[in-house]
Structure 1
Amino acid sequence: MAEQPRFLNRFLALIQGEVPADTLEAYQRAGNAVYDLLKQVEDHRLSLKIQGLNPWQFDTATQTQFLCAWNAFVLQSVGDQLLQADYRADPATIGYVPPMTAEQALNFYNQVGKWLSRAHQASNNPTYRLDVPLPADLPVWGEEKPCPNSHLDGMISATKLIRTHTEAAIAGFESDTIASEHETALNQIHQLLASATSEAEYAEQLWAPKLAQVVHEKVEQHARTALEQYYRLGQMLAMPQLLDRRYSTQASKAAFSGQTSRLPLPEEAGFDRWCLTDPVVRDDPNRPNDTEAAIALIWKYDPEPEKTLAIQADINGALERHDIDYATDRFGDRIGHYYCCPWAPIYVVKHPVTIANRHLRTFQEFTLEISAEAVPRGGEFKRKLLVGSFQPVEDMEYCSPFSSDRRSGSHHRRSC
């Protein structure tokens, strides 16, 4: 009898087009670390205020820890509230969520661990400096229309929770010891809070379970704006130098002169058929012989190899400038490559950059998807950037028109 509810749960989720939330629930469970850290930060901030110190007097490592803890908290809160709102709205499909909610929550959850890691590094290293530009932006929002009502409910719940902690941070920010030279910055803080609160309250007042689509979109727009403003405001409360527009923690870029180097075409001297492939795969002495054939087929069927190579040249240039890097997990280990031939690396954006005419934000993960699989059947050659969250899969596929072979191992594909 115990199996029946779970069967019905899965059946209803399938009918509604929902996807399993196992990964989201794992991130939610890990969230206790985020909330514990935020409590420590809020206590520390109050302790420093009692000592007569104001935020401009905090050492850089303390400011950095506060900022990273704040970012982890906001990201975790949005993910948690999206998940919890869906479960409240549809208890019959607990364990499953709409694809849009799954992708959006995962976009937020995926950044939490790295901010947590940075916060812990700052708390243990007085000379620690951040490796990313500030203030950081929230992950890109999904564009699916319309989004589920539960999605909006989760966003509203997140704004309420984050607003409470923002106001607490401002109470700790204000101090009698703040010099008159910082009065303008303090006024900016109050202005930013007023703007974020106005957006949040307007979204809350508009929100109702059943809305016309035009109002639905207005709620979403105002809630997003509120969350984005609270996110940036919390960073400025932690590190008030960010209020000075001239201030930037962007790491110095490596010397880079001239335009992106053009890569040789297949018929030209110096052409490297493996130029799209992760070096780990390319240099693996144990990779199957079939990988050679799969790579060869890509170039055989590519109708415009100059376009493919131009995208790779953009990627190479961004790597050289340190605008992007190979994506890693919270422990600093590379997460690997895309599961399908040509097994391109998964990258992470370090500084805003444009690749293949697509603007990418800091912390976004992406890879290059190239496939000739459909060409012999009259289909189109596939050539595009895949941007999103990447999850491990067990099989490495050849994505060849003439092969369905797979190779077991640790590989990644974009989450849906």
Structure 2
Amino acid sequence: MANTPPPFSRFEWMIAWRYLRARKADGGVSVMTLISLIGIALAVFALVATLAVREGLRSDIIQTMLGANAHAEVHYRRDFSGEIPVDHLIRDYSSLVEKIGGLPEVTHASPLVRGQVMGSYRGRNLPVDVYGITLEDLRNYPMVAKPNEALGSLDDFETGVAIGAMMARQLGVGVGDRIKLISPDGVKTAMGTSPRVSAYEVVFIFSSGQGFIDQSRLYLPLAQAQSFFNREGAVDQVDLRLTNPAKVGALILPILRSSGDRAYVTTWQDRAGGMIQALKMQDNAIFIVLSILVLIAALNIVSGLIMLVKNKGRDIGILRTMGLSQGSILRVFFLCGASVGTVGTLIGVVLGVVFAANIDSIYGLVDWITGSGVRDLEANGFFFPSAIVTIGDVSSAAGLSLALSWLITFFPARRAARMNPVEALRYE
């Protein structure tokens, strides 16, 4: 009994390669093959590039969001079960900061006083969200301490307040002006509680990149905030910054164990749950739409392969009479289509990675062509994200392209394998 050659033997690769190179005059479809390859490459390039920009946009949004906010917050619950009610204030915050700050993934723990007041300057009023914090702790929030745009000096924070740029604009406040803070929960007297009014010099104006922060947030030195909000010797919460904010969920239990029975934790993911869900839905929609483009490009391979099978009917009949099995014929034409899909996928991945790695140069090219278009759009609030290539995105794009191109190639290849050699040679 003759030895049966193993699948995908050398002669099968040779025949497939010869068919791919054959010109139309010789029964080949080289032009269609080139068009199919370019189509797959462009579709995969668009998918990889878009996924990279999408990941960059997600990263930029999260970094902007976390640049002025805590990754996690530790609060105390009120306790009314005993004879003496216990409020929500954290009075042992120094020891709590030391305990939580010692956890492996925690980079910084900051005691914080929170309060809502009315800000006033020369007849203009605005709701203000006050954060009482030390200068050392404030420096750990990069979008506040080191923003892209700022006025004044943060070094003078102990003698004044830091406010957002939009708040300063709406109140008409500049560096050196004194802003009034009015709190309804002020001094307790025999006649009741009277509003507390204090004036503070504006020493630093920051632009964090988040409108709701720049419009409403004011940072006040911790000691002064404790006095203003009647928090002597206590704080409202302890803010935590972590090595990896994405893994904050795994740290909740260790934080609670270090914080005591009355503690509870809120994370940045809790605050931004709606936005994260919206980003996920957007990611799924983008991937589906671009997957359709890859499918359309892969269908070009099918059309080219069907034409190749039709033109090579005589060759198929001769090969079958020479002893080639149906399996060998199937594998030859499968290799023709799969090779185009594979090469196109690799080219598309390389183009997508190069595009993402040079996204700043791409923006610069657009800027040069349009005449400072990017800078003008950014000045008007448009956002040009960075691009981040991840192994998962590249794998999903390449895997989708290969799966589609290989799967749909199987059907015309099977048609070639089932061709009757007698019918193929009847009119030759």
TM-score (ref. length: structure 2): 0.18
Q: Which has the larger radius of gyration?
A: 2
**Structure with the higher fraction of residues in strand conformation:** 2
**Structure with the higher fraction of residues in helix conformation:** 2
